[in-house]
Amino acid sequence: MKDQQTVFEEYRREVYRIAWRIQYKAKVVRKRECSFNGFEPATTSFTSTSDNKVVVRQLINALPSDTGKTVIFKLYIQDKTEGEVARELNMSQQGVSKWKRKMIRELSRMMSS
């Protein structure tokens, strides 16, 4: 029979895991709700909005990797979660996260040079 301290630690770990999952889900929902995808401020003109979209597409197309382009496009243009992109591309969520970080570094490098 397990002693009381062991049972307490098992419950504590399980509650921690559940809390982490809830926190992660809330973060995903908050990201979606705060997304500016499709939101255009009233002060921008049609020309500047379309110019911005063209520049963003050109930057994404300039990325060296097809997988990286797809990941960035789905995450930021289509506003999907890393998990959704991972399922679509048949890869792990961690793999999508690594591609995202790598491509953001590459975009930053491209824009600074």
Region of poorest pLDDT, from 24-28, 47-51, 72-76: 47-51
Per-residue pLDDT reduced to its tens digit, 57-71: 888 888 898 999 999
Instruction: Tell me the per-residue pLDDT of 1-47, one tens digit each, with 9 for 90 and over.
Output: 667 788 778 877 877 777 777 777 777 767 766 655 555 455 556 56
pTM for the model: 0.56
Distance, in Å, from the CA atom of 27 to the CA atom of 81, rounded to the nearest integer, reads 11
Please name the helix (run of DSSP H) or strand (run of DSSP E) that holds residue 16, with its range, or none. helix 4-33
Q: What is the DSSP letter of 2?
A: -
